[in-house]
Chain A
Amino acid sequence: MKRNVLALAVGLIFGLGLCLSGMYQPSKVLGFDLGGRWDPSLAFVMGGAIAVAAPAFALTRRRRAAWLGGEIDLPKAIAIDAPLVLGALIFGVGWGLAGVCPAPGVVDVGFFSPSAMIFVAAMAIGMLASRLADLRLRSARIATQDA
């Protein structure tokens, strides 16, 4: 229960940050146009976020447990593999097409934007498709290992 309340607060702070920074606005993201009139705001958003998050992640090197109990779960993968590279390539093209990435998409649904609802519905289908593709890949890999 405590964890759900914390997550709700995190979502609110995250969403307000996206609103204040302008990142929820597709035109603001697409304004990071190096070939035309360039609005560097996006770099300031990421810089500000990283500057505040970095000390917290540095702390996780020393402490193992979260405030609400349980382990601090950091990603364990280290390989620069094909899914990482291919996934980032595909994601970047999608991001550049409409100027929306996952969190701002959800925030824009909160503005009752019909365009955002279309985007998020398609994004959900893309996510589920990726899971299915991943499962098939993995079972294919296990099958070849068994053979």
Chain B
Amino acid sequence: MTIDWTHFTPFSALVGGAMIGAAAALLILGAGRILGAAGIVGGALDGRDGEAAWRWSLIAGLAAAPSLAYGLLGAAAPVFTANWPVLVVSGLLVGFGARLGSGCTSGHGVCGLARLSPRSFVATGIFMATAFVTVFVARHVVG
């Protein structure tokens, strides 16, 4: 294993990460809700528990962020290497799995670990492991 020094950006990763943590802190202390993207998007789609309005507002904030980021940071557009059939399969698995497992990278990986939830440690360990294996297989076995 060699570290990819040309792409490694420890400073912006840490500061950007701290902003994600600050967003989670603001939502739990301000509104009493967990910052879990899967739960927020899934709950907004279900729209049954009277909590859809704040969820759609948060989604609007997420979708508006790139316009600000483009102005402030000059952020480049995302580049997808996956073709559309892979994107469809990946999206279906991400949506289905994150809802079934009650969380994704933000809900389990950030909020769950931050509040020392045993369920989140198990879930994060599993999804990080299967993601690494998937990347490994796609790049070094099949690719």
Contact = CB atoms under 8 A, between A and B. Distances in A.
Interface of A: 3-28, 30-42, 44-57, 59-60, 65-68, 70-75, 77-80, 83-111, 113, 115-116, 118-131, 133-134
A20 B15 contact: yes
Contacts of B17: 17, 21, 44-49, 51-52
22 contacts: A5-B57, A11-B58, A11-B61, A14-B65, A25-B79, A30-B139, A45-B20, A49-B17, A56-B24, A71-B32, A75-B119, A77-B119, A80-B118, A86-B100, A89-B101, A91-B93, A92-B129, A95-B134, A100-B90, A108-B78, A115-B82, A129-B92
Nearest to A65: B32
B94 A123 contact: yes
Given A101-B94, A125-B91, A130-B100, 14 more contacts: A10-B58, A21-B12, A41-B8, A48-B17, A54-B21, A55-B25, A91-B93, A91-B104, A94-B94, A97-B93, A111-B77, A129-B92, A130-B99, A131-B46
A3 to B, nearest CB: 5
Nearest to B114: A53
Contact of B122 (A6, A85, A104): A85
